[in-house]
A and B are shown apart, each in its own frame.
Chain A
Amino acid sequence: MTDIPFLSLAIWIPILGGLLVLATGPDTNARMARVAALLTAILGFAVTIPLYARFETGSFAMQFEELRPWIEYFNINYHLGVDGISLWFVLLNAFMTIIVVIAGWTSIQSRVAQYMAAFLIMSGLMNGIFSALDGVLFYVFFEASLIPLYLIIGIWGGPNRVYAAFKFFLFTLAGSLLLLLALIYLYNTTGSFEILEWHRTPVAVGAQTLIFFAFLAAFGVKVPMWPVHTWLPDAHVEAPTGGSVVLAAIALKLGAYGFVRFALPIVPDACREFTWLVVGLSLVAVVYIGFVALAQTDMKKLVAYSSVSHMGFVTLGFFLHNQLGIEGALVQMISHGFVSGAMFLCIGVLYDRVHSRQIADYGGVVNTMPKFAAFFMLFAMANAGLPATSGFVGEFTVILGAMQESFLIAFLAATTLILGAAYTLWMYKRVVFGAVANEKVAGLTDINRREFFFLALLALCVLAMGLYPFPFTDVMHASVNHLLEHVNGKMLPL
């Protein structure tokens, strides 16, 4: 269909552009670094648009495939491709990169070139994760993406940034090292690192269990699932706004994506065997972390816990083993990308002005920042899962899927609609409404054009996805159905 390697472009334009930005050097050239970063991000997004425009909707096959030998000695290929499951994440990632670059335009004043470069390189690496069809290629991108985020948290983060950066790095590394062993084991049994080849290969039941737990460790930490979620609130609180946005919008999706790309199709029997475990952990995340979020006094921490809770929905959807569940979970992932990103940006807008994230330091913001309050309202509603916003579509579909399996699961999952509304709207009320709390709030200025631009852009996405989710779900059907046939039809004789 086409000879232009769009996926390679989507990976390498941001990385090479990031290196160029890095070369602009000291902060005296900050303006040049910012402009170059913005142009790279826009270009990086532009090359992902044809992926959607030329995507063949009815097919479950990998599209835009690129296959080149990379390390022949181990039979490792530079093999890229997207299907209906991964397509939207590449676009989402490229899109959020633009937002992040704009959001850091003035709030970052020190080591600007390094900041922008870190985000661009990270964006390229994450596109690599979503489009890799070779196990080692996936792993290499997966691990390498830790480095920029570690630096982002550690250099531009808050007072406790060192602790948060180390915790983030070591937690994720702990999981992914087990993933490496699982990948090598699969290579030694099949002689190949091709993910699609692994999908076709039946794995012995005993090995499936071990591999499943390796996957669970690697992806569970990244999602993050209860009880290994503790790195996330720390990382979010300490990270600069841009870091939190990328972390919530994209980085968390890597773990969930790993479950659909690796765990479900490669070890389907173990996945069915341990459905109770994943569903149980997911429900704990949804319900218990929902209550934890309610108790937070720090806005960023609150949104961080709400992310854990929402991601619990995603893992729950994947392990319902039905179409509604998986598609709902995928939609929820994309929606959470927009909504949580927007929530962190809103908190960033406040933080830039007041330099506090404590809910108690605010009150009556609507009096001084009416435009901001309107946007914040929309995103808070979306976070709570209000119909007509993107948050509703995913959650509702997953609950429908859960209903097909068991009433109890659906009931527990549905508590998120109450809890989510409670913690988000209560926070919103305390921050935005009421009398003007103190002089700092009284002196606030409303959002400027730059802030208006990126919040409006995200608001459009949230509304569009809530009102007309068809373009998002349409591309998924074929791939999800294929995955389900594969997962449900493949019980090995015990």
Chain B
Amino acid sequence: MSFDVSNLYSATAEVFVAIMILAIMLATAFARDIARGLAYVLTQLTLIVATFITFFTLEATSDFAFSNMFVRDPPGGILKLMVYLSMMVALLYGRGYLADRKLDRPEYYLLALLTTLGMMVMITANHLLILYVGLEMMSLALYALVAFDRDTARSTEAGMKYFVLGALASGLLLYGMSMIYGATGGSLELSAVHQAVASKGVDKTVLLFGLVFLVAGISFKLGVAPFHMWVPDVYQGSPTAVTLILSSAPKLAAFALALRLLASALPELAGHWQSMLLFVAAMSIVLGNLAALIQHNIKRMLAYSGISHMGFMLMGLLSGGEASAAATGYSSAMFYAISYALMTLAAFGMVVLLSREGFEAENIEDFKGLNRRNPWFALLMLFVMFSMAGIPFFVGFFAKFSVLQAVIQAGHFWIAVLAVTMSLIGAFYYLRVVKFMYFDEPVDNTPLNASGELQVMLSLNGVAIALLGLMPGTLLKWCEGAMRAAFVVGG
């Protein structure tokens, strides 16, 4: 392994974020009086600068570094940008919420940056071990974040639950990786794994056994059935500011994990992992939608709806595979993941907006009469709910549309029928939220006193959902172009 300084150029963003983490740690240790504000501002600044770095070092083709352990390609670039954006928005939404609960300690922002760094490494990894290191860096920081409200039983319980199950899933993933390593004669690098599998003489039994563990690990990180058990409890137990983080950026990183492990490293086994994902997707869509129907807690409802959304996303992923269809399938999945991140941020942002000191707006009933209390935010929440239900003109419709198009093109007609049937059931619980906001009179007439920045950002978020629904063309084209560059030879 030779090292060349020019390798560092490819990892500028990662290196920058890592340095900033240390810098913020030191700064907040010394400037104790202003530590809370300082940590927040520096964290946002770090994310903004990282955005610029990643944006200006975007490449049209794949660029490998550190002896092929590290890859910078267009899908990775877009996903990283979306991760920064999600984190920035999530931290902004959560700030007032944390301050009200005296949780806005500098460590919160450090952990948020650490988890971001983990996601960045996951997205850029081209090596089984690096992927695992990124995944663990993301997960460990998230465990701590979930348990951040350490004086409440709910938060610590959620943290423990997440940690035990998450560690188990990481173990499964690592076990799967070790089998791939063994079966391919010692390949850890993804392109080497690909080549080894493509050449004959690989022990298929061990390989497939490993694949099962990989799919299980990925499913856990995405939070899809039957590895979804942690999702509702952890979403509900975490402080809402953490739920904001949990539900958005890590899903994008987990999507990258799936893309790297399944699409880049094991396209030869596409038939196998596609049928596994088919089962997982179908189960998530059914289970997520049915369970969401009976929830009273909005965080749990959104958690179950998230399970079904991830199932939809997997439908796009599993319709890739073949060379020509790869771009269509993977890009529809990426478009879905990005749209979902936008929608879930807005939805939990709305929960934060309605919460105040000493009051958690956790029940769907807390949305009662929102139209009377504040018509503008009721309208935005209406956008979010109809978007999640997949009604046009909102971005959620085109996300569902592109996934359905890909899955029908790939010939899985029955799962398309199942998915639309289930989204009909799903429409019911989204409509119920709209019903509480618009058809009912408010029980709680406290004026909303959220900070100005939260209100502005939430408005932008809601309007973006509508505007992307009117003009989804550009984002779709970016996703497709990125996937074509990465997966279609000569594309």
Q: How far is the CB of B421 from chain A (nearest CB, A)?
A: 8
In chain A, what residue has the closest Cβ to B407? A184
Total A-B residue contacts, Cβ distance less than 8 Å: 87
* Residues in chain B near residue A73, CB distance under 8 A: 473, 476-477, 480
How far is it, in angstroms, between the C-alpha of A188 and the C-alpha of B410 when the chains are bound?
10
**Contact of A181 with B420 at beta-carbon distance under 8 Å, contacts A71-B473, A73-B480, A188-B409 already known:** yes
Question: CB of B375 within 8 A of chain A?
Answer: yes
A 137-170 binary contact with B (CB < 8 Å = 1; else 0):
0011101101100110011000001100110011
How far is it, in angstroms, between the C-alpha of A477 and the C-alpha of B256 when the chains are bound?
58
User: On chain A, which size bracket covers the interface?
Assistant: 35 or more
* Residues in chain A near residue B64, CB distance under 8 A: none
Q: Which of B70-78, B290-298, B424-432 contacts A (4 or more CB under 8 A)?
A: B424-432
Question: CB of B416 within 8 A of chain A?
Answer: yes
Would you call A173 and B427 a contact (CB within 8 A)? yes
In chain B, what residue has the closest Cβ to A70? B473
Would you call B391 and A147 a contact (CB within 8 A)? yes
* Residues in chain B near residue A146, CB distance under 8 A: 391
**Contact of A180 with B438 at beta-carbon distance under 8 Å, contacts A146-B391, A147-B391 already known:** no
How far is it, in angstroms, between the C-alpha of A476 and the C-alpha of B476 when the chains are bound?
40
* Residues in chain A near residue B434, CB distance under 8 A: 150-151, 154
Would you call A72 and B477 a contact (CB within 8 A)? yes
Which residue of B398, B417, B424, B476 is within 8 Å of A170 (Cβ)? B424
How far is it, in angstroms, between the C-alpha of A185 and the C-alpha of B431 when the chains are bound?
28
Question: CB of B204 within 8 A of chain A?
Answer: no
Question: CB of B423 within 8 A of chain A?
Answer: yes
Which residue of A136, A144, A161, A178 is within 8 Å of B391 (Cβ)? A144
Question: CB of A177 within 8 A of chain B?
Answer: yes
* Residues in chain A near residue B404, CB distance under 8 A: 180-181, 184
Question: CB of A174 within 8 A of chain B?
Answer: yes
**Contact of A187 with B472 at beta-carbon distance under 8 Å, contacts A169-B427, A177-B423 already known:** no
Q: How far is the CB of B353 from chain A (nearest CB, A)?
A: 19
How far is it, in angstroms, between the C-alpha of A178 and the C-alpha of B417 when the chains are bound?
8
* Residues in chain B near residue A161, CB distance under 8 A: 439
How far is it, in angstroms, between the C-alpha of A188 and the C-alpha of B476 when the chains are bound?
18
Would you call A155 and B420 a contact (CB within 8 A)? no
Would you call A155 and B405 a contact (CB within 8 A)? no
Task: Say what secondary structure dominates the interface of chain A.
Answer: helix
Task: Say what secondary structure dominates the interface of chain B.
Answer: helix
Question: CB of B397 within 8 A of chain A?
Answer: yes
Would you call A188 and B408 a contact (CB within 8 A)? yes
* Residues in chain B near residue A71, CB distance under 8 A: 398, 472-473, 476
Would you call B427 and A184 a contact (CB within 8 A)? no
Question: CB of A25 within 8 A of chain B?
Answer: yes
Would you call B477 and A155 a contact (CB within 8 A)? no
Would you call B431 and A166 a contact (CB within 8 A)? yes
Would you call B424 and A143 a contact (CB within 8 A)? no
Would you call A150 and B431 a contact (CB within 8 A)? yes
In chain B, what residue has the closest Cβ to A151? B438
**Contact of A140 with B397 at beta-carbon distance under 8 Å, contacts A72-B477, A173-B424, A181-B420 already known:** yes
* Residues in chain B near residue A165, CB distance under 8 A: 435, 439
Would you call B424 and A154 a contact (CB within 8 A)? no
* Residues in chain B near residue A178, CB distance under 8 A: 420
* Residues in chain A near residue B439, CB distance under 8 A: 154-155, 161-162, 165
Would you call A174 and B392 a contact (CB within 8 A)? no
Would you call B417 and A181 a contact (CB within 8 A)? yes
How far is it, in angstroms, between the C-alpha of A173 and the C-alpha of B427 when the chains are bound?
9
Would you call A181 and B427 a contact (CB within 8 A)? no
Would you call A170 and B375 a contact (CB within 8 A)? no
Would you call B473 and A155 a contact (CB within 8 A)? no
Would you call B438 and A144 a contact (CB within 8 A)? no
How far is it, in angstroms, between the C-alpha of A111 and the C-alpha of B408 when the chains are bound?
44
Question: CB of B401 within 8 A of chain A?
Answer: yes
Question: CB of A470 within 8 A of chain B?
Answer: no
* Residues in chain A near residue B382, CB distance under 8 A: 147
How far is it, in angstroms, between the C-alpha of A144 and the C-alpha of B383 when the chains are bound?
11
Top-3 shortest CB links A-B: A140-B392, A177-B420, A71-B473
Q: List 17 A-B contacts (CB under 8 A).
A: A71-B472, A73-B477, A73-B480, A74-B401, A74-B476, A114-B371, A114-B375, A140-B397, A147-B386, A147-B391, A155-B371, A162-B439, A170-B427, A177-B423, A180-B404, A188-B408, A188-B409
> What residues of chain A have their CB less than 8 Å away from a CB belonging to chain B?
25, 70-74, 111, 114, 136, 139-141, 143-144, 146-147, 150-151, 154-155, 161-162, 165-166, 169-170, 173-174, 177-178, 180-181, 184-185, 187-188
Given contacts A114-B371, A150-B431, A177-B423, 12 further A-B contacts (CB under 8 A): A25-B375, A70-B473, A74-B401, A74-B405, A140-B393, A143-B391, A154-B435, A154-B438, A165-B439, A169-B431, A174-B424, A184-B416
